[in-house]
Amino acid sequence: MTIPTNDIAPSVTTGPLPASRKTYVAGALHPDIRVPMREIATHPTAGEGPLPVYDSSGPYTDPEAVIDVASGLPPLRRDWIMARGDVAGYAGRHVKPEDNGFVSGERLVVEFPVRAQPLRGTGGAAPTQLAYARAGIITPEMEFVAIRENQLREAGPVTRDGNDWGASIPDHVTPEFVRSEIAAGRAIIPANINHPELEPMIIGRNFLVKVNANMGTSAVTSSMEEEVEKLVWAIRWGADTVMDLSTGRNIHNTREWIIRNSPVPIGTVPIYQALEKVNGVAEDLTWEVFRDTLIEQAEQGVDYFTIHAGVRLHMVPMTVERVTGIVSRGGSIMAKWCLHHHRESFLYEHFEEICDICRQYDVSFSLGDGLRPGSISDANDAAQFAELETLGELTKIAWARDCQVMIEGPGHVAMHKIKENMDKQLECCHEAPFYTLGPLTTDIAPVYDHITSGIGAAMIGWFGCAMLCYVTPKEHLGLPDRDDVKTGVITYKIAAHAADLAKGLPGAQRRDDALSRARFEFRWEDQFNLSLDPETARDFHDQTLPKEAHKVAHFCSMCGPKFCSMKISHDIRAEAQKEGMATMAEKYREGGDLYVPVDSGEDG
Amino acid sequence: MTIPTNDIAPSVTTGPLPASRKTYVAGALHPDIRVPMREIATHPTAGEGPLPVYDSSGPYTDPEAVIDVASGLPPLRRDWIMARGDVAGYAGRHVKPEDNGFVSGERLVVEFPVRAQPLRGTGGAAPTQLAYARAGIITPEMEFVAIRENQLREAGPVTRDGNDWGASIPDHVTPEFVRSEIAAGRAIIPANINHPELEPMIIGRNFLVKVNANMGTSAVTSSMEEEVEKLVWAIRWGADTVMDLSTGRNIHNTREWIIRNSPVPIGTVPIYQALEKVNGVAEDLTWEVFRDTLIEQAEQGVDYFTIHAGVRLHMVPMTVERVTGIVSRGGSIMAKWCLHHHRESFLYEHFEEICDICRQYDVSFSLGDGLRPGSISDANDAAQFAELETLGELTKIAWARDCQVMIEGPGHVAMHKIKENMDKQLECCHEAPFYTLGPLTTDIAPVYDHITSGIGAAMIGWFGCAMLCYVTPKEHLGLPDRDDVKTGVITYKIAAHAADLAKGLPGAQRRDDALSRARFEFRWEDQFNLSLDPETARDFHDQTLPKEAHKVAHFCSMCGPKFCSMKISHDIRAEAQKEGMATMAEKYREGGDLYVPVDSGEDG
């Protein structure tokens, strides 16, 4: 292609969030790593300096970074990968017409201008984070996520407040702790060796709860330009990973643009593209088509694959009496294939070969819940739990081949069944990380399913789920646009953060405390800037009180100037400071004419 | 006033929701009662007839009803109240200039055109639902709510699925059960004898979880017209009660318009108006001003009063070291008064006299949590729980005087502390109904606090909270507009419904099942109509697939026509029906060349 890149590259949103500055923290074991953080400045009167927060937004929010979408992000992991000496470049698979749905000419999404030779493992060694962890090696990726998880909180004992339901959350995340969690299979770092642009992140019950955002073109709508911007937009608001669920045409070329510009792990459901290659006829799927698709995507750098290998033939009849049958696209494709061919799926039968492919590139498994419940009525039924048990068996097979694994979960589940789900997953799947969609806690609120599911997501995150797949307001109704993506991501950041607080994750409450102090001290600008959505917070405030003077006013529109509870609390505090808190408390405990003794319990 | 009513009456939203029809159910004990329901029609192919749902929207959604805002709603309870023979009309208090903040002329909100003589109890008898219940009387109000709670589900044993945490939810709500719950103090029917327009509803742990919407003018913004429409708008989307939290001027006249047009209970915080009467200077408040305000509001028909009598002098120093001090407006006013006067508040000291006033009109207590936590850091602290214990003492005092009582709760509480809150309330307050604001499960998401709090609300509703006070997207930032009110109400309907499902409330799942069947059968119109927000659901669908033909299409925009999991499930079901489910299941359990035996657990 000779088209100049400035003609073909989509435009994306760049620049820092308000009052925010990108900083980088170097490693100790690996001094060349640069772990990104975001520092949110607070007003000098706060006397507490900037607050460092986790930053998934990549170089797009760094004014120093040169962003050129047609070149892709810098391959920051390349040297780490090559230094390990266990991978080599090779010619790689040629792009075939079916990879892009047989489109050509103007309808073909332009190829990404730069093509790097793919890498794969050489010899018998597995270039996976799990293999390294088991060998006692602390990789740069592991130190990177350790620094990232701590968000610059100090090492050493911390006050713990929370209930972690038997997790083993450390006071401080060390690189060795990361290694040990990965070695035990309790956490994964999805990081394909062909995605060197990645800023590593970790998914596990003893770390911050993560959020995934789904996007992707469909046969009905969407374009490559929109998808790249949606990616950048989703990570700006906090998405930790992104799944490209494209169907229809141009899947290959669109995915290449996405991966080359993604600092977060990209997941896919390879069966979707495989199905496109056989013109949407599930029965025509073959192991060969699927295998070729896996290699195609692994060479591009997909970091995790959803594989619905747990849908087994004998489970299909268990779904027939359900209110909503099988609602997973991948699950229903495989069920149909199984019934038609009257045999176990090629995903199940060839699972070991799938592992061997994933192992060569360090593609993590996200074992799909093809039989997840699609309605409150179908939750926690025999089909769902039978599949979960199979996923546990498959986990052991993947682990035996040094592949990283997480497990996908539902779906639609009423609140009283959520903990049972989580507990059963931990038991059946040997503590492999759980990754759930929602769950939605009622069926009656299309338009608001980010909320119905945000409730379930917060709860299952608290109970031990490691990553929460977002649901947008368009769920069940249409494809999410840019606003929906933002709403979905922020709703899920709330759910994840609520879970972190309830688990007692050290340091999680720092941001709440900083924002609440700002609120109490009428530092309106700090209140906006410390929030998850500073611009909208400011806009909402200004709808009632638009003047700049109101940003320093010691009141707000709810009460008005005469009448503010926060202001009265300051008066009380001032009085206490004047005479001393202890004296004040003592005075009010005294008996006497005016005071009713404490605990006297009498009337009036 | 001689202004024709059509010149002064605000316009309000009327007409049924899509596919909905208002029906009325007569009583058995009291044949003249007409309990409103909403029937949502489903497509004939569904073969299941219309679904009856709870309907809080009042006559506004009944096309047969004549709506005249300047006349108010029909006084449907008048005859019931008079028939009991224990109340009498009297001249009542005259409206004073301070009732409306001393405004006059054009700035004065026009008086409501009709003035009825207020009623109060005569002799020693208390005309309260609690007194009747204790006397073994099943009032029309009690039968009304029994019919309303059942939503036309059949009497008799039901399949129960849920965890009610020790509640005593019956299979079928009988009038006698309602009576017994009220007699025990476990439920209330807020129903001032001067609010005959009310369609009775019940608040208690063994009934459907209810939702309150706050509104009200402030010194900074708002008008009477907006407030009346906000009321009608809030109940259209499902608000069960409305609190008028007006401050500033015109409080009295605005409230009269609201109550006369409200089919739901109206709550207030009388100290807000009392403070306006003393020009916003908390120290100048007196028992006399407050007492006069209580009578003023009781005569107008306010159904429940928030009274912050639990803020005691010795508790104030407990708040000084908090991150956000005292955030309750009422709580901070009383704290300031206590400190200034160096004595217990007049609310606490005169609590028995307050009871005697409430008793005469059957105004229910909503004992305010003046020391609720305003941040995650302050949750479940000594101040909060000390006040809760005092509220338990006050509950007994009110009960001794035949007054109905509920208890207000927080606030900001991380998920792991919510159950402790609920359990402590049940214990300290002798199972009086709990009524909480959220709680918000993080502090970091202004703009999304309907969501942060919806998570906590769903959970505390499940654990036993009887009514959830909504939070809108404007919380902490500004005053809610019409859109915010709708978003807040629907978010809280979701939380309440999620709680009903998790508690296993009989019949709660009928709407989920009906909507999920519609979803599975591609009845798009039914799916919209059965949802909480039909118009927006349709709009979201049409953004991607606008054509009418797509409303009967057996696919949606997520997958496109070739590729739909629901469609595949139908194929599977069709196959199962052809050969019989049992045969199908049996076939797939057979061993043989193709099938891997069940539970063999082998690889690949």
Per-residue confidence (pLDDT) for residue A603, from 0 to 100: 34
- CA-nearest residue to B543 within chain A is A478
Check the annotation: does B416 bind a ligand: no
Contacts of B530 in chain A (CB under 8 A): 444
The percent of residues in chain B predicted with pLDDT above 90, rounded, is: 81
Per-residue confidence (pLDDT) for residue A194, from 0 to 100: 98
Whether B340 contacts B385, CB under 8 Å:
no
Please tell me the distance from the alpha carbon of residue A520 to that of residue B387, in angstroms, as a whole number: 21
Nearest to B572 among A325, A344, A598 (CB): A325
Please tell me the distance from the alpha carbon of residue A388 to that of residue B408, in angstroms, as a whole number: 42
CA-nearest of B217, B209, B201, B210 to B141 is B201
Whether A484 contacts A474, CB under 8 Å:
yes
Contacts of B458 in chain A (CB under 8 A): 415, 441, 455
Is residue A278 less than 8 Å (CB to CB) from chain B?
no
Mean pLDDT (whole number) for A58-69: 96
Per-residue confidence (pLDDT) for residue B93, from 0 to 100: 96
Provide the 10 A C-beta neighbour count for residue B156. 7
Check the annotation: does B304 bind a ligand: no
Higher-pLDDT residue of B5 and B429 is B429
Contacts of B536 in chain A (CB under 8 A): 447
Per-residue confidence (pLDDT) for residue A181, from 0 to 100: 98
Residue A598 predicted with pLDDT over 60: no
Q: Would you call A566 and B327 a contact, using CB atoms and an 8 Å cutoff?
A: yes
Record the tokens describing residue A411, joined without a space.
Answer: 């779906």
Q: Would you call B451 and A247 a contact, using CB atoms and an 8 Å cutoff?
A: no
Mean pLDDT (whole number) for B106-126: 92
Closest-CA distance, B117 to chain A, in angstroms, reads: 31
The per-residue DSSP string of A308-351 comes to: -TT--GGGGGGGTTSSS----HHHHHHHHHHHHHTS--HHHHTH
Per-residue confidence (pLDDT) for residue B156, from 0 to 100: 62
Whether A379 contacts A410, CB under 8 Å:
yes
Mean pLDDT (whole number) for A286-308: 98
Mean pLDDT (whole number) for A502-520: 96
Residues 71-130 of A with CB under 8 A from B: none
Is residue B483 less than 8 Å (CB to CB) from chain A?
no
Is residue B136 less than 8 Å (CB to CB) from chain A?
no
| pLDDT classification of A574: cutoffs 50, 70, 90 | confident
Mean pLDDT (whole number) for A249-254: 94
Is residue A48 less than 8 Å (CB to CB) from chain B?
no
Mean pLDDT (whole number) for B33-49: 96
**Pick from A540-544, B140-144, B182-186: least confident:** A540-544
Whether B490 contacts A450, CB under 8 Å:
no
Residue A459 predicted with pLDDT over 80: yes
Contacts of B566 in chain A (CB under 8 A): 324-325, 327, 332
Residue type, B377: S
Mean pLDDT (whole number) for A255-265: 97
Task: Name the DSSP letter for residue A109.
Answer: P
Q: Would you call B375 and A519 a contact, using CB atoms and an 8 Å cutoff?
A: yes
Q: Would you call A573 and B527 a contact, using CB atoms and an 8 Å cutoff?
A: no
Check the annotation: does B355 bind a ligand: no
Contacts of A368 in chain B (CB under 8 A): none
Q: What is the dihedral of CA B549, B554, B558, B564, to 10 degrees?
A: -160
CA-nearest of B569, B527, B532, B568 to B551 is B527
Residue B599 predicted with pLDDT over 60: no
Is residue B550 less than 8 Å (CB to CB) from chain A?
no
Mutate to test the interface with B, among A53, A271, A332, A444 (most CBs of B within 10 A): A444
Angle, CA of B428, B433 and B438, to the nearest 5°: 95
Mean pLDDT (whole number) for B396-418: 98
End-to-end CA distance of chain B: 86
Closest-CA distance, A35 to chain B, in angstroms, reads: 24
What residue ranges in B51-111 does DSSP mark as E strands? 51-54, 87-89
Closest-CA distance, A137 to chain B, in angstroms, reads: 29
Per-residue confidence (pLDDT) for residue A595, from 0 to 100: 33
Contacts 24+ apart (CB under 8 A), A336-341: A336/A282, A336/A283, A336/B568, A336/B571, A336/B572, A337/A282, A337/A283, A337/A285, A338/A311, A338/A312, A338/A313, A339/A313, A339/B572, A339/B575, A340/A282, A340/A283, A341/A283
Closest-CA distance, A30 to chain B, in angstroms, reads: 33
Q: What is the pLDDT of residues A394-430, one digit of tens each?
A: 999 999 999 999 999 999 999 999 999 999 999 999 9
Closest-CA distance, B458 to chain A, in angstroms, reads: 7
Q: Would you call A375 and B415 a contact, using CB atoms and an 8 Å cutoff?
A: no
Q: Would you call A414 and B498 a contact, using CB atoms and an 8 Å cutoff?
A: yes
Residue B367 predicted with pLDDT over 50: yes
Check the annotation: does B272 bind a ligand: yes
Q: What is the pLDDT of residues A290-300, one digit of tens each?
A: 999 999 999 99
CA-nearest of B255, B415, B573, B458 to A415 is B458
H-helix or E-strand spanning residue A36:
strand A34-40
Is residue A447 less than 8 Å (CB to CB) from chain B?
yes
Per-residue confidence (pLDDT) for residue A597, from 0 to 100: 34
Residue A144 predicted with pLDDT over 60: yes
Contacts of A414 in chain B (CB under 8 A): 161-162, 498, 501-502
- CA-nearest residue to B496 within chain A is A442
Residue type, B117: Q
Is residue B579 less than 8 Å (CB to CB) from chain A?
no
Record the tokens describing residue A279, joined without a space.
Answer: 């013109």
Parallel/antiparallel/unpaired status of strands A434-437 and B20-26: unpaired
Per-residue confidence (pLDDT) for residue A559, from 0 to 100: 59
Mean pLDDT (whole number) for A284-308: 98
Model ipTM value: 0.94
Contacts of B415 in chain A (CB under 8 A): 458-459, 462, 498-499, 501-502
What's phi and psi for A188, nearest 5 deg? -135, 150
Provide the 10 A C-beta neighbour count for residue A331. 29
Is residue A416 less than 8 Å (CB to CB) from chain B?
yes
Mutate to test the interface with A, among B246, B339, B450, B455 (most CBs of A within 10 A): B455
| pLDDT classification of A3: cutoffs 50, 70, 90 | very low
Contacts of B324 in chain A (CB under 8 A): 516, 519-520, 566, 569
Q: Would you call A519 and B324 a contact, using CB atoms and an 8 Å cutoff?
A: yes
Check the annotation: does A564 bind a ligand: yes
Per-residue confidence (pLDDT) for residue A123, from 0 to 100: 86
**Pick from A336-350, A466-480, B208-222: least confident:** B208-222
Per-residue confidence (pLDDT) for residue B86, from 0 to 100: 97
State the pTM of this model.
0.94
CA-nearest of B19, B81, B179 to B514 is B19
Residue type, A234: A
**Left (φ > 0), alpha (ψ -120 to 50) or beta: where does B279 sit?**
left
Is residue B331 less than 8 Å (CB to CB) from chain A?
yes
| pLDDT classification of A472: cutoffs 50, 70, 90 | very high
Contacts of B316 in chain A (CB under 8 A): 572, 588
**Pick from A134-148, A426-440, B589-603: least confident:** B589-603
Please tell me the distance from the alpha carbon of residue B57 to that of residue B37, in angstroms, as a whole number: 9
Per-residue confidence (pLDDT) for residue A125, from 0 to 100: 84
Closest-CA distance, B393 to chain A, in angstroms, reads: 7
Contacts of A314 in chain B (CB under 8 A): 585, 588-589, 595, 598
**Pick from B145-159, B342-356, B364-378, B388-402: least confident:** B145-159
Contacts of A563 in chain B (CB under 8 A): 219, 247, 275, 280, 329
The per-residue DSSP string of A400-444 comes to: HTT--EEEEE-SB--GGGHHHHHHHHHHHTTTPPEEEE--BS-SS
Whether B56 contacts B41, CB under 8 Å:
no
Per-residue confidence (pLDDT) for residue A483, from 0 to 100: 95
Average pLDDT score over chain A: 91
Per-residue confidence (pLDDT) for residue B46, from 0 to 100: 94
Residue B602 predicted with pLDDT over 50: no
Nearest to A444 among B161, B313, B497 (CB): B497
Mean pLDDT (whole number) for B169-185: 97
Contacts of A343 in chain B (CB under 8 A): 594-595
Per-residue confidence (pLDDT) for residue B10, from 0 to 100: 77
Is residue B187 less than 8 Å (CB to CB) from chain A?
no
Is residue B223 less than 8 Å (CB to CB) from chain A?
no
Higher-pLDDT residue of A351 and A586 is A351
Q: Would you call B478 and A541 a contact, using CB atoms and an 8 Å cutoff?
A: yes
Mean pLDDT (whole number) for A478-502: 96
Mean pLDDT (whole number) for B67-88: 96
Please tell me the distance from the alpha carbon of residue B399 to that of residue B404, in angstroms, as a whole number: 7
- CA-nearest residue to B324 within chain A is A520
